[in-house]
Homo-oligomer: A and B are copies of this chain.
Amino acid sequence: MNFNAITIRDIARALQLSVSTVSKALRDSYEISEKTKKLVVEYAEKNNYRPNPIAQSLKKGHSKSIGIVVSTIENQFFSQVINGIESVAYQAGFNVIFTQTHESYEMEVKNVDQLAHHSLDGLLISLSTETKDIEHLKLLHKRGLPIVFFDRISNEIDTHKVIADNFKGGYDATKHLIDSGYSKIAHITSPPNISITKERLAGYNQALKDAGLTVPPEYIKHCSHGGRDIGEIENSLNELLALKERPDAIFTTSDRITTTTLLLLNKLGIKIPEQIALVGYTNTTLADALNPPLTSVYQPAFEMGQKAAEMLLNLILSKRPVTEFETVTLPTQLFVRKSTAPREV
């Protein structure tokens, strides 16, 4: 409150008391008489006094706020995660400060730096697709900043982590395609350096293997910017469609890649699932209303946010240094819809 608010001093002066007495009275200290307390509290209330949290922060050494770094809020998955984070942070009286990397490593470093030096008590982060090196985080972590990873994590820092079961998500999606009669299954995904890509890809590969299927390496497309621009998704898709051995199904990861693929397929007039089936990771609430209704791998995003926030709060509030860390894995759900209807033979 820079806008000339009433301070503890003002009320001390008005009541002919000392600053410390007022401070104690406000915090309901046992050292202060009921009478004085009442006097102070009433005056404070009447004049709408609020302690200046900046001063409190400076004194106490913490700011009651946590930072969030995500790639972009304009993605249902992340907005749901943030929603979850906010809900628990709010309950605990913590503020939430957030920034977006737009999948850029440089932005990530800058954001983290800015946040870290804006005195927050903890950091919640999902790495950008470009991020390979996490020195920027290691440094802060070493200096004592509590960090919890979610979604796109790194194993180079020993701390709490929350992820969805990416392997199973990939496995289930692929297996479902196989069970529905598809065998030439392509995969459009994010860059191979980030955790979720590897895990989902592993699930995909395992499902193929378990079914005794093999696919040519050209069936796996990595969008180096995680689908940040439509162009790279379009290229991947076109390349797949141009293959002599054209895939009969596609498994996509991430909201952006999934919905864009659907959009493009529709635009090209390619019938789903008749000409090509589609299953993808997405948290959109509109999967049922899409054309066709889209079989989707859904992640419990809200719960992921809640869990991550809880873990971070634990770290922050813990009296003694935490040395035991856990990685929580949340289940994904496969919602079967028309885009993967059993293949007609």
Residues of A within 8 A of B (CB): 1-5, 48, 50-55, 57-58, 61-65, 72-74, 76, 79-80, 82-83, 86, 90, 93, 95-100, 114-119, 121, 139-140, 143-145, 259, 262-263, 266-267, 284-286, 288-293
Closest 9 A/B residue pairs (Cβ):
A3-B144, A291-B291, A2-B61, A50-B117, A54-B119, A2-B62, A73-B79, A54-B57, A3-B143
With contact pairs A97-B95, A143-B4, A145-B3 given, residues A119 and B286 touching in the complex (Cβ less than 8 Å): no
Contact partner of A97 among B54, B65, B119, B143, CB < 8 A?
A: B65
Q: Are A55 and B52 in contact (CB under 8 A)?
A: no
* Measured CA separation A48–B113 after assembly (Å): 11
Chain B residues closer than 8 Å to A114, beta-carbon distance:
93, 95
A73 engages B82 (CB within 8 Å): yes
How many copies of this chain sit in the oligomeric assembly? Answer: 2
List, in ascending order, chain B residues with CB within 8 A of A63's CB.
2, 54
Min C-beta distance of A312 to chain B, whole Å: 14
Contact of A266 among B65, B76, B289 (CB under 8 A): B289
Q: Once bound together, how far apart are the Cα atoms of A50 and B115, in whole Å?
A: 12
CA distance A89 to B342 in the complex (A): 50
Q: Are B284 and A286 in contact (CB under 8 A)?
A: yes
Q: How far, in whole Å, are A55 and B57 apart by their CA atoms in the complex?
A: 9
Closest to A3 in B: B144
**Does A98 contact B99, Cβ atoms closer than 8 Å?**
no
CB distance from A345 to the nearest CB of B (A): 26
* B-side contacts of A62, CB under 8 Å: 2
Question: A121's contact among B2, B55, B64, B291, by CB below 8 Å, is which?
Answer: B2
A260 CA / B116 CA spacing, docked (Å)? 40
24 A–B contact pairs at CB < 8 A? A1-B117, A1-B143, A1-B145, A2-B61, A2-B119, A3-B140, A4-B143, A5-B143, A50-B117, A52-B58, A53-B118, A54-B58, A54-B63, A65-B118, A73-B79, A73-B82, A74-B83, A86-B100, A95-B114, A95-B115, A96-B98, A259-B289, A267-B288, A291-B293
- Please pick, from B118, B119, B285, the residue contacting A259 in the complex, using a CB distance under 8 A: B285
* Cα of A97 to Cα of B27 in the assembled complex, Å: 27
